[in-house]
């Protein structure tokens, strides 16, 4: 029973290089990539850390929003002129003319895409999230934190390894109010 | 040998002093500098803030209240000039708003590294400029409480907005732009809010905690954020172009002398960039001169880079202006010729010449010189002059061009009334919002600066030391 207990370790590294080395070493110790998370104050690419690419739904959500926006534009430009009782005939223009329709479609498609991109960040990152979380404020000072999820029996082995690899501090991660 | 070494060391030191990207400080120190710049509020700040608040209260809110109570009759608009300073200011503020997108999105797409420390200052101008544009268009409406009639929604009156009209497109385009630019301002702000949250106490901590949304900087959060910012950077550029093009169609779609021009779209867009860049450089000089630690982040190299852009934009504006003028003049239409003559030799002819001096002569005379355009007070003065010139340009396009039409018995000069305090009120309110924001949110996108500093280094090629940039994304 005790062996199945999962603990989180938070190691803080002074820089990118030792953090990347530590990730490689953790992998050799049998820690899977899904059991690690890197926290940093500036965007650090997966390639720099030798980590697998992160999945994001933001582009798909953006595309979905663009399609919805386009649909709203189609309704406004093509359908709505027919549903109200006082038709607006402008000069010799067709009842649903091309160029103005293009403007309406463009603006609503872009609006849908921009809104959904913004929403996508919230959905994918689970924002807003004000619950206690595992975190170290030093990351915004340039430190790189690695959050490792491991079984209780491996805790000491991993802690020692992280210290040897240059971690400035290694401690059990505790969720705290940010 | 020693001479070469000394020379190389001197060159390296000079490059580091010159370029923010080569002059990194410890990140903790840099964060603290940004926090101090927000917390450091002097009595001078409060005096200016108080004056601007009083001007806004009188010029914007009281005067608007008077206009709502008395009706549009207190304004100077009347036959044949139905569009006056309200519309001039609408176009002017939308123009100012273009700088944020230009700097933040276009320069981001093209990976122009000098943009990093002032993208947020420019984006804030976009959002606050659009607020003033919104005020101005609502003032122009007169019965502002009926503004919801613009919206397409099922209603008892069984009326529907005319979607063939450029004014309806304006509603769609400006709504898209104000929402898009506000979201684009907020997304890169999230990591800086998290940084501020970690370094604050009291009400600031609560504010930043709410705005940081729980951001920690995990790989996933950065990936989602970076993807979204890339999409925004590409998507908001055509939206920006569409907004001012559609604003130009408010005029160009009418078959009026002086307005009916196929080149009005790009002419308006470049005019917007002209005034927007002028405003950005003015704001940067004020920030640099008045806020603590800003001299570290905003350096002469940035004024030099923006100065070059201003020079190119000024030349492009001159090209479009001449193109528009030439075709209208060559057309030989009686009323258009009359209008062009009225622009230059009428009672407001001084404004037409002042426009050319402010938009072309002065920028060209000063911005060609690298030393002059790197001097903050000088280049920001040029920015102010350009904005005066661009305001004149809009004044010439709107009320002055409306004075002359095909019915000479209606000709009448426009005399603004309550528009003047209202216009000054929007200017004061813009500055007021900006001052408040400068003490509440980090004006420097500090994580972007730190990311840029990580990517830059000095490299030796033979005997020469040069700046190199790595592409980190």
- Give yes or no: residues A120 and A137 share one domain: no
Which positions in chain A touch B160 (Cβ < 8 Å)?
A: 80-81, 84, 86, 88
- Check B224 against A110: CB less than 8 A apart: no
The reply to whether A63 and A109 lie within a common domain is yes
Q: Do A48 and A105 share a structural domain?
A: no
Whether the pLDDT of residue B34 is over 50: the answer is yes
Q: How confident is the model at residue B11 (pLDDT cuts 50, 70, 90)?
A: confident
Read off the pLDDT of each residue in A142-167 and give the average, rounded to a whole number.
Answer: 89
Check whether residue A47 and residue A64 sit in a common domain: no
Tell me which chain B residue has its CA closest to the CA of residue A52. B219
A49 with A63, same domain: the answer is: no
Q: For residues B171 and A102, is the Cβ–Cβ distance under 8 A?
A: no
Boundary residue ending a domain (A104, A125, A146): A125
Which one has a higher pLDDT value, B12 or B378?
Answer: B378
Give residue A154's pLDDT.
Answer: 85
Strand partners, A134: A175
A50, A103, A174: best to mutate for the B interface, most B CBs within 10 A: A103
Q: Looking at the structure, tell me whether residues A18 and A66 fall in a common domain.
A: no
Q: For chain A, give the mean pLDDT.
A: 89
Give whole-number Cα distances, A29 to A12, A16, A151, B290, B304, in Å: 19, 20, 12, 54, 53
* Average pLDDT of every residue of chain B: 93
Tens digits of residue pLDDT in B123-132: 999 999 999 9
A41 lies in the same domain as A30: yes
Residue pLDDT, tens place only, B91-146: 999 999 988 888 888 888 888 889 999 999 999 999 999 999 999 999 999 999 99
Interface probe, candidates A8, A108, A114, A128, chain B, greatest B C-beta count within 10 A: A114
Find the closest chain B residue to A94 by CA distance.
Answer: B164
List the domains of chain B with CATH numbers: 38-149+161-469 (1.20.1630.10)
pLDDT at B1 (0 to 100): 58
Q: What share of chain B in percent tops pLDDT 90? A: 81
Interface test with B, best of A34, A121, A139, A147 (most B CBs within 10 A): A121
Identify the domain containing residue A29 by its residue range: 2-55+132-176
Report the relative pairing of strands B456-461 and A144-151 from DSSP bridges. unpaired
What mean pLDDT comes out for the span A48-68? 93
Cβ A133 vs Cβ A8: under 8 Å = no
**For residue A4, what pLDDT band results from cuts at 50, 70 and 90?**
low
Assign 3-class secondary structure to chain A. Answer: CHHHCEEEEEEEECCHHHHHHHHHHHHHCCCCHHHEEEEECCCCCHHHHCCCCCCCCHHHHHHHHHHHHHHHHHHHHHHHHHHCCCCCCCCCCCCCCHHHHHHHHHHHHHHHHHHHHHHHHHHHHCCCCCCCEECCHHHHHCCEEEEEEEEHHHHHHHHHHHHHCCCCEEEECCEECC
User: Same domain for A115 and A63?
Assistant: yes
Rounded to an integer, the average pLDDT of B262-281 is 95
Paired tokens of B77: 């608009």
Q: Report, as an integer, the average pLDDT of B406-413.
A: 92
A77 lies in the same domain as A45: no
The span from the CA of A145 to the CA of A140, in Å, is: 10
Of A54, A124, A135, the CB nearest to B219: A54
Q: Return the pLDDT at B152.
A: 81
User: Residues A62, A51: one domain?
Assistant: no
Residue A1 has pLDDT above 70, yes or no: no
Distance of CA A148 to the CA centre of its chain: 19
Determine the average pLDDT of the residues in B289-318.
96
Q: Which of A83, A108, A125 is the last residue of a domain?
A: A125
Contact criterion met (CB < 8 Å) for A58 and B231 = yes
For residue B447, give both structure tokens. Answer: 């994580």
Structural domain count, chain A: 2
Token pair for residue B417? 């009334």
Residue A3 has pLDDT above 60, yes or no: no
In a shared domain, residues A50 and A66: no
Tokens found for residue A65: 């929003």
**pTM recorded for the entire structure:** 0.93
Question: Of A101, A125, A149, which residue sits at a domain end?
Answer: A125
Query: What's the pLDDT tens digit per position in B180-208?
Result: 999 999 999 999 999 999 999 999 999 99
Enter the DSSP assignment of B56. Answer: I
Q: Please say whether the beta carbons of B379 and B307 come within 8 A.
A: yes
Q: Which residues of A touch B163 (CB under 8 A)?
A: 76-77, 80-81, 100, 104
pLDDT digits (tens, 9 = 90+) for A69-122: 999 999 999 988 888 777 788 888 888 888 989 999 999 999 999 999 999 999
Higher pLDDT, A48 or B381: B381
Q: What is the mean pLDDT of residues B25-41?
A: 94
A76 contacts in chain B (CB < 8 Å): 152, 163
Does A62 share its domain with A148? no
CB pairs under 8 A between A and B: 187
> Cβ contacts of residue B291 below 8 Å, gap of 6+?
B37, B40, B438, B443
Nearest CA to B392 among B451, B348, B454, B335?
B348
- Contact call for A41 and B217, based on CB within 8 A: yes
More confident residue, B438 or B102: B438
Which residues of chain B are within 8 Å of residue A43 when distances are taken between CB atoms?
Answer: 222, 225-226, 447, 451, 472-473
CATH of the domain at A38: 3.30.70.120
For residue A55, CA distances in Å to A81, B227, B472 come to 42, 11, 19
Query: pLDDT class for B151, splitting at 50, 70, 90?
Result: confident
What ipTM does the predicted assembly reach? 0.93
Q: Do A114 and B195 touch (CB under 8 A)?
A: no
Cβ atoms B98, B153 nearer than 8 A: no
Q: Are strands B456-461 and A133-134 parallel, antiparallel or unpaired?
A: unpaired
Q: How are the residues of chain B apportioned to helix, strand and coil, as percentages rounded to the nearest 5?
A: 75, 5, 20
Q: Work out the number of other CB atoms within 10 angstroms of the CB of residue A148.
A: 25
Helix (H), strand (E), coil (C) string for B93-111: HHHHHHHHHHHHHHHHHCC
3-state secondary structure of B162: coil
């Amino acid at each position: 029973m005790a062996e199945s207990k999962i603990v989180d370790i938070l190691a803080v590294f002074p820089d990118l290089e030792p953090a990347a080395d530590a990730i490689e070493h953790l992998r050799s110790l049998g820690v899977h990539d899904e059991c690690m998370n890197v926290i940093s104050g500036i965007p650090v690419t997966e390639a720099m850390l030798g980590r697998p690419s992160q999945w994001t739904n933001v582009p798909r959500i953006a595309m979905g929003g663009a399609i919805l926006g386009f649909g709203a534009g189609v309704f406004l430009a093509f359908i709505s002129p027919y549903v109200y009782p006082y038709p607006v005939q402008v000069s010799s223009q067709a009842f649903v003319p091309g160029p103005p329709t293009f403007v309406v479609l463009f603006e609503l498609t872009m609006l849908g895409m921009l809104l959904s991109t913004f929403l996508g960040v919230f959905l994918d990152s689970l924002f807003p999230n004000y619950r206690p979380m595992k975190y170290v404020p030093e990351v915004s000072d340039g430190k790189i934190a690695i959050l490792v999820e491991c079984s209780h029996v491996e805790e000491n082995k991993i802690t020692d390894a992280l210290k040897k690899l240059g971690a400035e501090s290694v401690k059990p991660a505790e969720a705290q109010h940010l | 040998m020693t001479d070469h070494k000394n020379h190389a060391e001197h060159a390296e030191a000079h490059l580091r002093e010159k370029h923010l990207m080569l002059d990194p400080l410890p990140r903790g120190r840099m964060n603290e500098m940004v926090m101090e710049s927000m917390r450091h509020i002097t009595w001078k700040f409060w005096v200016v803030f108080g004056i601007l608040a009083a001007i806004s209260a009188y010029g914007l809110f009281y005067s608007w209240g008077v206009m709502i109570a008395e009706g549009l009759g207190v304004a100077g608009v009347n036959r044949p000039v139905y569009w006056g300073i309200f519309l001039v200011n609408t176009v002017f503020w939308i123009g100012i708003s273009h700088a944020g997108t230009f700097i933040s999105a276009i320069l981001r797409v093209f990976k122009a590294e000098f943009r990093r420390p002032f993208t947020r200052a420019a984006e804030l101008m976009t959002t606050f400029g659009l607020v003033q544009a919104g005020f101005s268009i609502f003032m122009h409406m007169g019965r502002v409480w009926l503004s919801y009639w613009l919206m397409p929604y099922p209603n008892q009156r069984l009326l529907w907005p005319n979607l063939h009209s450029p004014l309806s497109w304006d509603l769609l385009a400006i709504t898209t732009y104000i929402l898009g630019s506000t979201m684009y301002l907020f997304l890169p702000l999230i990591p800086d809010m998290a940084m501020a949250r970690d370094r604050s106490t009291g009400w600031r901590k609560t504010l930043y905690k709410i705005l940081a949304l729980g951001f920690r900087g995990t790989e996933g959060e950065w990936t989602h954020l970076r993807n979204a910012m890339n999409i925004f950077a590409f998507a908001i550029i055509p939206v920006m172009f569409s907004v001012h093009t559609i604003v130009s169609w408010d005029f160009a779609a009418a078959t009026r002398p002086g307005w009916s021009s196929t080149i009005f779209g790009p002419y308006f867009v470049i005019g917007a960039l002209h005034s927007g860049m002028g405003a950005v450089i003015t704001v940067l000089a004020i920030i640099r001169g008045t806020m603590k630690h800003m001299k570290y982040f905003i350096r002469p190299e940035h004024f030099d880079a923006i100065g070059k852009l201003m020079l190119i934009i000024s030349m492009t504006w001159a090209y479009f202006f001449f193109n528009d003028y030439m075709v209208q003049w060559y057309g030989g239409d009686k009323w258009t010729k009359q209008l062009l003559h009225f622009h230059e030799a009428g009672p407001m002819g001084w404004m037409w010449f002042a426009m050319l001096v402010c938009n072309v002569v002065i920028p060209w005379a000063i911005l060609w010189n690298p030393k002059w355009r790197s001097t903050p007070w000088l280049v920001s003065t040029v920015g102010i002059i350009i904005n005066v010139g661009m305001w004149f340009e809009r004044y010439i396009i709107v009320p002055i061009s409306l004075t002359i039409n095909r019915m000479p018995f209606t000709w009448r000069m426009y005399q603004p009334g309550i528009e003047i305090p209202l216009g000054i009120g929007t200017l004061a309110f813009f500055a007021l919002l900006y001052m408040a924001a400068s003490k509440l949110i980090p004006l420097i996108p500090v994580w972007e600066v730190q990311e840029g500093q990580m990517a830059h280094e000095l490299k030796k090629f033979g005997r020469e030391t040069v700046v190199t940039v790595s592409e980190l994304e």
